Structure 1
Amino acid sequence: MSTDVPMMNIPAAAESKPLGPVAKVGHFLDACIRWSTELCAAVLVVAEVALLFANVFYRYALHDPLIWGDELATLLFIWLAMLGAVIALRRNEHMRLTTFIAHLSPSRRALVDTFGAVVVIAFMLALLSPAWDYVSEQWPITSAALSISDGYRVAALAVGLTLMLAISVARLMEQARPLHFLASFVVVGGIAAALMAFKVQITALGNWNLLIFFVGAVVFMIVIGIPIMVAFGLSTVAYLGTVTFTPMLIVMGRIDEGMSSLILLAIPLFVFLGALIEAMGMARAMIRFLASMIGHLRGGLSYVLVGAIYLVSGISGSKAADMAAVAPALFPEMKKRGEDENELVAMLSASGAMSETIPPSLVLITIGSVTGVSISALFTGGFMPAVVGAIAMIAVIWMKNRKREVKGVERAKPRDVIKAFFIALPALALPVVIRAAVVEGVATATEVASVGVIYTFVVGLLFYRSFDWKRLYPIIVSTASLSGAILIIIGCATAMAWALTQSGFSQQLTTLMAHAPGGATGFLIISSAAFVVLGSFLEGIPAIVLFGPLLFPVARSLGVNDVHYAMVAIFAMGLGLFAPPFGVGFYAACAVAKVNPDGAMKRVWPYLGALAVALSVLVAVPWVSTGFLS
């Protein structure tokens, strides 16, 4: 989702005016929250890396496992997630769709942004009291190893919601026009009053009321740029509060359940790892090696682009990190060779879609967490689907460059290729180290990221020596922000999926999909099309958290292998994520390359068409996903 557009925009002229008394209070409050949350989150990221690596070291090297290690990691993790969500809200980095509101005039955009901020406040207010009640509810429960109250852990939810409420209020005080605020308050209050007034009638609609809350309301909020976590969470709260007697305390329990799975701790650690790979110079070393081997061929650097995305994706787990690492290293030289910048962005975008299944993809980790599929099996099954996608990409590149003349490009001498290989070898070894640590039982799928972080630090500092220590703190804070934005979506989507299950919708969906024409093949085709659409609007993680628990049981009942279905779903969502006009990954690629989307949009379709063919192969040939499973 786009994160480069502020939640509330104001004209530049207004920004230069002296702040009024109310705006000054809001600015001061915002600054206090910024410094306190960013520093605490940075400390937590470092603490989690150290703790998980200590778990591995004590268990594998000293044969004396830290019994309390996982409990402490879980406690710190929920605090990291919520503080990260606070930072993401303050920095306007929550996942949200800005495709439509970006075209509004400044005055209309200001009104929509103010309305969005009021909606965020309404969501926080709805859960604030239940969140603190949830702390009281959990306080008598003590942990087994640490023997401390669980209230210390779940207090993170209450504190995080309180701080997000404070940030939203501060932003309104700083930037909102009084008339816009009044209009937004009246509309939001009017909607709430209407839901209460027509509660009986809405309840009488049966499951048709799901269209009001989980289609109409969610789509409306996403379209006007409200963060996805609020769209999911507020629609769930509104549904349960209107048509059921479910206490909001249960909603907090489901959010806690969604965010507290220890396997999800791999998300911030792999995000951190991805940023370190680029900062340490390891990504550049790998790209130089690939360029020395095949850069002299027709379209040679295009092949390098595909290969580089494949290699980097296998380490970083973050698509934004992948593109940011590869584009600056390759694009200048490709432009010198006459490549059109729109073609470059088209290839970059399609390569991002191709590599979604490569471990340790954050989507793989998430899908394993919410569906119970083995993370190790998903990591093993993810390589070959991406190979099929890469072959499809290479076929298009070959077709486009088969008659192209190559001038002024010399083939690298063998000794230069060998030199580049040895320079890149420590970086190329990282995916091997990560996979070996999991397969050999040295580390779990959660802990292995800490091994990767330590390895990257050591190798980067000893071999590449290009790291600027001034970048470390911003990298850590950005890690917390992105992780918080992802994890709170998972929490809200878990609550939403629970509400859909309680309504009976999941059973209806199961029955409908189980009787799809064509049996298992028909089900896979329908799922592929659905996930392409969902991926373009929601990104992979929100979509899979919401629909994974509903659709994976159907797939199992039809005899579809879990890993096969996961690869089809993830590849399809990647295709939707990077497909214009709605795929937000496409616009992220344009932003990385600083290219206008209009020109690139015309060039991306041949590559996406090739990936659609690759998706068909994944659907038809289960071996691609399951052939290497033991």
Structure 2
Amino acid sequence: MTSILFGGFAILAILGLPIAVVLGLTSVIALATATSIPLLVVPQRMFTAVSSFPLMAIPFFMIAGVLMEGGGISRRLINLANKIVGHLTGGLAMVAILTCMFFAAISGSGPATVAAIGGIMIPAMVSAGYDLGFSAAVMAAAGSIGVIIPPSIPMVTYGVVAGASIGSLFLGGLTSGLLVGLALMIPTYYIAKKRGYKGTGKFNFKEVLIAGKEAFWAILMPVIILGGIYGGIFTPTEAAAVAVVYGFIVGVFVYKELKFTDLGKLLANAAASTSIVMLIIAAASIFGWIMTSERIPDAVAQAFVSFSDSKIVILLLINLLLLIVGCFMETNAAIIILAPIFLPLVVKMGVDPIQFGLIMVVNTAIGMFTPPLGVNLFVACGQSNLSIERISKAIIPYIIAMVAAVLLITYIPAISMYLPNLMMK
């Protein structure tokens, strides 16, 4: 069974089939050839996997993201970021990263962040004399923050799979996302300094306040979400529904850039993105169920423990595996399959489930801008008309920076756990 499951997965993945098809088809083949279990169990378990109240947050956050994007949010956030960091060396690249951090607090999606911000920032950087490959690489890497700073769709997925508090994951994602943003700014600064990419204008606190006032309603959204959750006003799932209503009101009545005629297209885009994520979750659930039935998680855990009983070494090995898996597997699928394998092991070593969830999310976020699967990479390539080879070379410093951030989150629990622990007191 195990050889069929993983052998089939490897073959179908190499053939380039969508990850949901790979997971689902591999599971069906394994059940049909190695067991007497009726295949009717496949659709039953797939339906059960997505028939979950917490998972309703995913389509709501998707809709909220497209509504805020279509409501003129991107331009205002870019203007605010420009007033804050535009004067620094590599100003426009710094603006791109900071804007992605702002937009991450709205979208919850990496590719959506790259699409919304990259379409404006890549041409702006190139017009200012920045190398096209560097500009696209900055956007592809910074877009990964979209799944780290809350609201985060992979955090919702992990919360459901691991039975962890989604609200606590969101809080931990705030400090983790800030760390990742800072980590990405460091290589950006050195590359910009080496190539002579200068800032634009001078810092003016009054202009920052004016830009902040214009972007106020966009920045208020994560405050409402986290404040409502921890104020006991609504659950994370209900917070997602509130975000949809808020995004609609801001886009239509406050900024007045969201037209009723645009709603059909925006909702269709959200529905398409949601269906992809839900199909992956459903297919990954049946794959994970077969692994659990075959006691594969226990075997993997034993293998890790037999290799070393050191917490530092085991966490390093898990990080390495997550980095490799993230290059070949979609984030939500990786979380659904690997969280049940490693969570019991790391909990025994004293790692908080919230911290481990953030380790998984940040690790797999790196896969969003690394070949061959990197979805952010493909979005940035489409925006810049560059080949994967050209942008992949420019992305290397950002991979190193993200790996360093992951190691800090792994070995310094206070980074990710400070706010969750503070709220528990």
Give TM-score scaled by structure 1 length: 0.64
Partners of 1:534 and 1:543 within 8 A in 2: yes
Aligned-residue CA RMSD in angstroms?
1.9
User: What secondary structure sits across from 2:419 in the alignment?
Assistant: coil
Provide closer, same or farther for how the CA distance between residues 504 and 605 of structure 1 changes in structure 2, counting only shifts above 3 A: same
Which of 143, 159, 171 aligns to 1:352? It is: 143
User: What secondary structure sits across from 1:461 in the alignment?
Assistant: helix
Q: Trace 1:376-391 onto structure 2 (pairs within 5 A).
A: 376-391=167-182
Partners of 1:520 and 1:560 within 8 A in 2: no
Counterpart for residue 611 of structure 1:
402
Counterpart for residue 18 of structure 2:
227
C-alpha displacement at 1:518, in angstroms? 4.5
Partners of 2:151 and 2:222 within 8 A in 1: no
Which of 249, 267, 270 aligns to 2:58? It is: 267
Counterpart for residue 473 of structure 1:
264
Counterpart for residue 156 of structure 2:
365
User: In the alignment, does 2:329 pair up with 1:525?
Assistant: no
Partners of 1:513 and 1:554 within 8 A in 2: no
C-alpha displacement at 1:463, in angstroms? 2.4
C-alpha displacement at 1:414, in angstroms? 4.8
C-alpha displacement at 1:291, in angstroms? 0.8
Provide closer, same or farther for how the CA distance between residues 407 and 309 of structure 1 changes in structure 2, counting only shifts above 3 A: closer
Partners of 1:285 and 1:420 within 8 A in 2: yes
Which of 192, 195, 210 aligns to 2:2? It is: 210
Partners of 1:278 and 1:284 within 8 A in 2: no
- Higher RCO structure, 1 or 2 (CA under 8 Å, sep 6+): 2
Q: Give, as a single letter, the amino acid of the residue that structure 2 aligns with 1:508.
A: A
Provide closer, same or farther for how the CA distance between residues 403 and 247 of structure 1 changes in structure 2, counting only shifts above 3 A: closer
Counterpart for residue 483 of structure 1:
274
How far apart are the structure 2 equivalents of 1:306 and 1:425? Answer: 19
How far apart are the structure 2 equivalents of 1:412 and 1:507? Answer: 56
Identity of paired residues, percent?
A: 28
User: In the alignment, does 2:389 pair up with 1:598?
Assistant: yes
Q: Trace 1:512-551 onto structure 2 (pairs within 5 A).
A: 512-551=303-342
User: In the alignment, does 2:28 pair up with 1:237?
Assistant: yes
Provide closer, same or farther for how the CA distance between residues 584 and 427 of structure 1 changes in structure 2, counting only shifts above 3 A: closer
User: What secondary structure sits across from 1:298 in the alignment?
Assistant: coil
Q: Tell me the alpha carbon deviations over residues 93-151 of structure 1, each in whole angstroms, 9 at most, x when there is no partner.
A: xxxxxxxxxxxxxxxxxxxxxxxxxxxxxxxxxxxxxxxxxxxxxxxxxxxxxxxxxxx
Partners of 1:265 and 1:446 within 8 A in 2: yes
C-alpha displacement at 1:247, in angstroms? 1.9
Counterpart for residue 49 of structure 2:
258
User: In the alignment, does 2:345 pair up with 1:554?
Assistant: yes
Partners of 1:283 and 1:427 within 8 A in 2: no
Q: Give, as a single letter, the amino acid of the residue that structure 2 aligns with 1:566.
A: G
C-alpha displacement at 1:252, in angstroms? 2.7
User: In the alignment, does 2:233 pair up with 1:446?
Assistant: no
Q: Give, as a single letter, the amino acid of the residue that structure 2 aligns with 1:416.
A: E
Counterpart for residue 361 of structure 2:
570
Partners of 2:370 and 2:377 within 8 A in 1: yes
Larger radius of gyration: 1
Which of 121, 134, 145 aligns to 1:330? It is: 121
Provide closer, same or farther for how the CA distance between residues 517 and 408 of structure 1 changes in structure 2, counting only shifts above 3 A: closer
User: What secondary structure sits across from 1:411 in the alignment?
Assistant: coil
Partners of 1:536 and 1:584 within 8 A in 2: no
Provide closer, same or farther for how the CA distance between residues 589 and 405 of structure 1 changes in structure 2, counting only shifts above 3 A: closer
How far apart are the structure 1 equivalents of 2:150 and 2:385? Answer: 28
User: In the alignment, does 2:191 pair up with 1:395?
Assistant: no
Partners of 2:57 and 2:237 within 8 A in 1: yes
Partners of 2:327 and 2:368 within 8 A in 1: yes
C-alpha displacement at 1:567, in angstroms? 1.3
Query: Could you tell which deviates more after superposition, 362-371 or 349-358?
Result: 349-358
User: What secondary structure sits across from 1:604 in the alignment?
Assistant: helix
How far apart are the structure 2 equivalents of 1:407 and 1:388? Answer: 24
Q: Give, as a single letter, the amino acid of the residue that structure 2 aligns with 1:421.
A: G
How many residues in Structure 1 have an aligned counterpart in Structure 2?
421
Counterpart for residue 509 of structure 1:
300
How far apart are the structure 2 equivalents of 1:369 and 1:618? Answer: 22
How far apart are the structure 1 equivalents of 2:341 and 2:176? Answer: 23
C-alpha displacement at 1:338, in angstroms? 0.8
Partners of 1:323 and 1:592 within 8 A in 2: no
Q: Tell me the alpha carbon deviations over residues 574-594 of structure 1, each in whole angstroms, 9 at most, x when there is no partner.
A: 112311345343223222343
User: What secondary structure sits across from 2:273 in the alignment?
Assistant: helix
Partners of 2:330 and 2:373 within 8 A in 1: no
Provide closer, same or farther for how the CA distance between residues 407 and 612 of structure 1 changes in structure 2, counting only shifts above 3 A: closer
Counterpart for residue 291 of structure 2:
500
Provide closer, same or farther for how the CA distance between residues 414 and 380 of structure 1 changes in structure 2, counting only shifts above 3 A: closer
Q: Give, as a single letter, the amino acid of the residue that structure 2 aligns with 1:513.
A: F
User: What secondary structure sits across from 2:236 in the alignment?
Assistant: coil
User: What secondary structure sits across from 1:339 in the alignment?
Assistant: coil
C-alpha displacement at 1:540, in angstroms? 0.8
Provide closer, same or farther for how the CA distance between residues 472 and 612 of structure 1 changes in structure 2, counting only shifts above 3 A: same
C-alpha displacement at 1:498, in angstroms? 1.1
Partners of 2:86 and 2:199 within 8 A in 1: no
Partners of 1:296 and 1:411 within 8 A in 2: yes
Provide closer, same or farther for how the CA distance between residues 243 and 404 of structure 1 changes in structure 2, counting only shifts above 3 A: closer
User: In the alignment, does 2:102 pair up with 1:295?
Assistant: no
C-alpha displacement at 1:379, in angstroms? 0.7
Partners of 2:130 and 2:197 within 8 A in 1: no
C-alpha displacement at 1:300, in angstroms? 1.2
Q: Give, as a single letter, the amino acid of the residue that structure 2 aligns with 1:210.
A: T
Q: Tell me the alpha carbon deviations over residues 263-289 of structure 1, each in whole angstroms, 9 at most, x when there is no partner.
A: 111111111111111100122211111
List structure 1 runs of 4+ shifted beyond 6 angstroms. Answer: none
Q: Tell me the alpha carbon deviations over residues 229-268 of structure 1, each in whole angstroms, 9 at most, x when there is no partner.
A: 2221222122122221212233233212211111111111
Partners of 2:70 and 2:266 within 8 A in 1: no
Partners of 1:284 and 1:325 within 8 A in 2: no
How far apart are the structure 2 equivalents of 1:408 and 1:384? Answer: 26
User: What secondary structure sits across from 1:619 in the alignment?
Assistant: helix
Q: Give, as a single letter, the amino acid of the residue that structure 2 aligns with 1:280.
A: G
Provide closer, same or farther for how the CA distance between residues 408 and 210 of structure 1 changes in structure 2, counting only shifts above 3 A: closer
What stretches of structure 2 of length at least 5 have no aligned partner?
A: none
Q: Give, as a single letter, the amino acid of the residue that structure 1 aligns with 2:237.
A: T
Q: Give, as a single letter, the amino acid of the residue that structure 2 aligns with 1:241.
A: A
Provide closer, same or farther for how the CA distance between residues 416 and 260 of structure 1 changes in structure 2, counting only shifts above 3 A: same
How far apart are the structure 2 equivalents of 1:576 and 1:398? Answer: 23
